[in-house]
Amino acid sequence: MLEIVYSPQWFYGIDIIFEFINVIAAILIAFFSYKVYKFTREKRCLFFGLSFIAISLSFISKILTNFQFYYNFFRKSSIINSALITVTTHKSLNFFVSAYFFHRFFMLLALTGLFFIVGKYHKRLIPLFIFFIAVITAFSTYEYFIYHVTTSLLLGYIFYHYYANYSYCKTKNTFLVAFSFFLILISQIVFINIITGIENYVLAQVIQVLGYIILLIAYIRISKNDKKNKARHN
């Protein structure tokens, strides 16, 4: 059976706010990365930015899905005409499936991109990975946990590289980035455990948004540093 929404009722809408914060963090980092690319002309920066664009697209797809679901949920409660409800639900199901497909596809694409950029792996493996992403996305539409197991594995590798980066260069910003990816990894592991209790969805969402807020803090610290520099020179 296809299950789409795992959120407890009292959390409806709050998760949209959380995901909106994630989108803002991802877009700001993508924009900054593009600026770095324009300045340095290093392609890694361009692909890093594109990965974060994919993250934001993934969350936007999920926001649209949840928004549509919650809208229908609250409308269903007030509409009496059952025929209308059936039509709406049927149309919505197609929308949900495609939007969730894009949510998962973009997120897996983004994490694979980060995996290659941060890990500095060989480019030749990319087509193989894209094939796996397509297969996993298709399967994960029906098996919820496959998607989160895959994202956990990718995030595990990404976190490992960020931890190594922090060990090599112990600054507050490298720590913040490593810690944020650690939290995002934990959130994915908690998402797997939704089967054991729907409250885990709330916990996972909270941990995930904390991860993205910390990424945002790291971004703000870097851009503030620039303002300090400019002030010092003037």
Partner 1 sequence: MTRRTKLDIINDMLVSVREKGGKIKPTHLMYKANLSYKLLNTYLEDLVKNEMMQEVKGKNDNTYLIITDKGLEFLAEFKKMREFQQSFGI
Of 10 and 168, which has the nearer Cβ to partner 1? 168
204: helix, strand or coil: helix
Residue 167 sits in the site that holds partner 1 (CB under 8 A): no
Q: Minimum Å distance from CB 172 to partner 1? A: 9
The candidate with the shortest Cα–Cα distance to 102, out of 134, 142, 70, is 134
Q: Minimum Å distance from CB 162 to partner 1? A: 6
What's 56-120 look like in SS3?
Answer: HHHHHHHHHHHHHHHHHHHHHHHCCCHHHHHHHHHHHHHHHHHHHHHHHHHHHHHHHHHHHHHHC
Per-residue binding string, partner 1, 174-203, x by CB under 8 A, is x-xx--------------------------
Judged by CB under 8 A, the stretch of 30-38, 55-63, 80-88, 141-149 that binds partner 1 is: 30-38
41: helix, strand or coil: coil
Residue 169 sits in the site that holds partner 1 (CB under 8 A): yes
Of 10 and 230, which has the nearer Cβ to partner 1? 230
Per-residue binding string, partner 1, 45-84, x by CB under 8 A, is x--x------------------------------------
Of 10 and 39, which has the nearer Cβ to partner 1? 39
Residue 170 sits in the site that holds partner 1 (CB under 8 A): no
Judged by CB under 8 A, the stretch of 43-51, 70-78, 84-92, 190-198 that binds partner 1 is: 43-51
Please work out the total of residues on this chain that contact partner 1, with binding judged by CB under 8 A: 30
Cα separation, 35 vs 174, whole angstroms: 20
Residue 3 sits in the site that holds partner 1 (CB under 8 A): no
Phi, psi of 116 (to 5 degrees): -75, -40
Q: Where are the alpha helices (DSSP H) in the chain?
A: 14-40, 43-78, 82-119, 126-140, 144-168, 172-192, 199-233
Cα separation, 54 vs 134, whole angstroms: 15
Which one among 147, 162, 201, 212 touches partner 1, defined by CB under 8 A?
162
Of 158 and 209, which has the nearer Cβ to partner 1? 158
Cα separation, 159 vs 184, whole angstroms: 9
Of 210 and 218, which has the nearer Cβ to partner 1? 218
Judged by CB under 8 A, the stretch of 5-13, 56-64, 121-129, 223-231 that binds partner 1 is: 223-231
**What residue type is 149 in one-letter code?**
V
Residue 201 C-beta-side C-alpha neighbours within 13 Å: 19
